[in-house]
Amino acid sequence: FYQASSSEMFGKVLETPQNEDTRFYPRSPYGVAKVYSHFITQNYRESYDIFACSGILFNHESPLRGNEFVTKKIAKAVARIKKGKQDQLKLGNLEAKRDWGFAGDYVEAMHLMLQANIADDYVISTGETHSVKEFIQASLEVADIPFEWEGEGIDTCAISKKSGKKIVVCSEEFYRPAEVDSLLGDSSKARKILGWEPKTKFASLVDLMVKYELENN
């Protein structure tokens, strides 16, 4: 039995990087629910000897991401801006940092957990953290949109060198009420016991997502 835990359980992180022993401090109803799922899975494993594993997966992305997720929102908007179908992208906190990996790599980790001799819980992550701003910058570069950053904090914006217009801006309406500022996973346990390693680097992930949107939107 595989149970999908989440890095959102760490929330307001109490140590960096986060591993299997890091205390949880969820900052959203989603994170709170995931903590319950994580502990009830442990309880059933210990009480009834069920082969049940929880994967504490950090953010895992692909071109199939839902439109409500920030990476998909960025990749799709950048492609549309490139094609002249959209003027501007509005986002919340550009300084929020996440440990982003490729979903395909993480599914391999799930499978390896279920093939192990002993059921256990594992953090699955790349061990690298990047800001939303970095994701935007990499996406604009993939789409070959010359730009420059201006402003700080809520006033941060990306300005097109071609048109002189703001193509990315911050808006308070997209800020989370209880922000998770930074997440960085330590997946050394999975690497050692399962022999798992992420294959897809951050730049390759952004390239994959933006090019998919350029070809399909």
Pick the CATH number of 2-216 from 3.40.50.720, 3.30.300.30, 3.40.50.12710, 3.55.50.30: 3.40.50.720
Helix (H) or strand (E) holding 204: helix 202-216
Q: Which residue has the tokens 């996973």?
A: 185
State residue 148's pLDDT score. 97
Is the separation of the CB atoms in 9 and 26 below 8 Å? yes
- Which residues neighbour 135 within 8 Å (Cβ) at sequence distance 6 or greater? 70, 71, 74, 100, 206
Is the separation of the CB atoms in 61 and 205 below 8 Å? yes
Closest CA to 101 of 71, 138, 73, 78: 71
State residue 176's pLDDT score. 84
Handedness of CA 107, 45, 189, 195 (dihedral sign): negative
Whether omega for the bond prior to residue 17 falls within 30 degrees of 0, making it cis, is yes
Could you count the other beta carbons within 10 Å of the beta carbon of residue 110?
Answer: 16
- DSSP 3-state of 149: strand
State residue 138's pLDDT score. 99
State residue 105's pLDDT score. 99
Could you count the other beta carbons within 10 Å of the beta carbon of residue 165?
Answer: 11
- The pLDDT profile of the chain, 217 residues, written as one tens digit per residue, is 999 999 999 999 999 999 999 999 999 999 999 999 999 999 999 999 999 999 999 999 999 999 999 999 999 999 999 999 999 999 999 999 999 999 999 999 999 999 999 999 999 999 999 999 999 999 999 999 999 999 999 999 999 999 999 999 999 998 888 889 999 999 999 999 999 999 999 999 999 999 999 999 8
State residue 71's pLDDT score. 98
Q: Which residue has the tokens 């205390």?
A: 23
State residue 217's pLDDT score. 82
